[in-house]
């Protein structure tokens, strides 16, 4: 059974070692308006970027390095080139 604890509006849930590692992930969400960027951050996302601008440059500006994974749920065809750049940077860092 997963164990959850809530601190400062940031739920942290884990179910064994895998779940514990997942809580260490940085979550970057995309939106185009300030209020829609703020909402996921209020729910625990670490960063919000504007999906109407180049994604790779914005992720670079965060200073957290390249993501190992990207979970794209909408308009992936519009962002695929940037997603590929981001993942390739991570792959090249090993």
State pLDDT tens for residues 9-33. 444 444 445 444 555 678 888 888 8
pLDDT band at 80 (very low <50, low <70, confident <90, very high): very high
Residue 34 sits at the vertex; the CA angle it makes with 73 and 68, to the nearest 5 degrees, is 40
Rounded to two decimals, what is the model's pTM? 0.66
pLDDT band at 69 (very low <50, low <70, confident <90, very high): confident
pLDDT band at 58 (very low <50, low <70, confident <90, very high): very high
Q: What percent of the chain has pLDDT over 70?
A: 69
* Closest of 25, 90, 21 to residue 60, by C-alpha: 90
Phi, psi of 6 (to 5 degrees): -115, 125
Q: What is the DSSP letter of 44?
A: T
């Amino acid at each position: 059974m997963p164990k959850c604890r809530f601190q400062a509006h940031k739920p942290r849930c884990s179910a064994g070692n895998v779940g514990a590692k997942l809580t260490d992930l940085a979550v970057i969400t995309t939106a185009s308006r300030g209020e829609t960027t703020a909402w996921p951050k209020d729910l625990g996302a670490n960063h919000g970027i504007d999906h109407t601008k180049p994604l790779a440059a914005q992720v670079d500006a965060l200073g957290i390095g390249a993501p190992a994974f990207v979970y794209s749920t909408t308009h992936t065809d519009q962002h695929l080139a940037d997603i590929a750049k981001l993942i390739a940077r991570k792959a090249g860092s090993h």
